Amino acid sequence: MRFEIVEIFAVITFFISFFGLITSKGVIKSIVSISVMEVSVIMFFLGLGYTSGIMPPIGQESANAADPLPQALVITAIIIGVALTAVNLTMLISLCSQFQATEWDILKGATRSKGN
């Protein structure tokens, strides 16, 4: 199986953002890393599903029509990714207003001291 440049770029981007997620000390960097991971997975699926010479299945009855199911799944993944990012940013706003911090270490200490 031969990988195209899009799939290779998507895998590299995924692992770079995964490394960023693991090593980040800030909440904002974690949210950005998760969003980049989502985009790289979508880019990987788009690269796998690309075939030259395929026509949209609108108003044509040909053997070269594209399957609309993967397209619908990718659109669903995009919508879920946007919703996840919105929820993460909403939780960040709540944390910032409550603890006045965006660093994981400060937030861990603040929640532990508030719980006791």
- Whether 78 has a pLDDT exceeding 70, the answer reads yes
Rounded Cα–Cα distance for residues 38 and 89 (Å) = 15
- Whether 82 has a pLDDT exceeding 90, the answer reads yes
Question: DSSP per residue over 28-90, as a string?
Answer: HHHHHHHHHHHHHHHHHHHHHH--TTPBPSSS---TTBPPHHHHHHHHHHHHHHHHHHHHHHH
Task: Tell me what pLDDT residue 38 has.
Answer: 95
Domain boundaries, the chain: 5-50+68-115
Query: Hey, is 103 helix, strand or coil?
Result: strand
Task: Tell me what pLDDT residue 41 has.
Answer: 94
Instruction: Determine the topology of domain 5-50+68-115 in CATH.
Output: Helix Hairpins (1.10.287)
Per-residue pLDDT tens for 23-44?
Answer: 999 999 999 999 999 999 999 9
* The model's pTM: 0.81
Task: Tell me what pLDDT residue 34 has.
Answer: 94
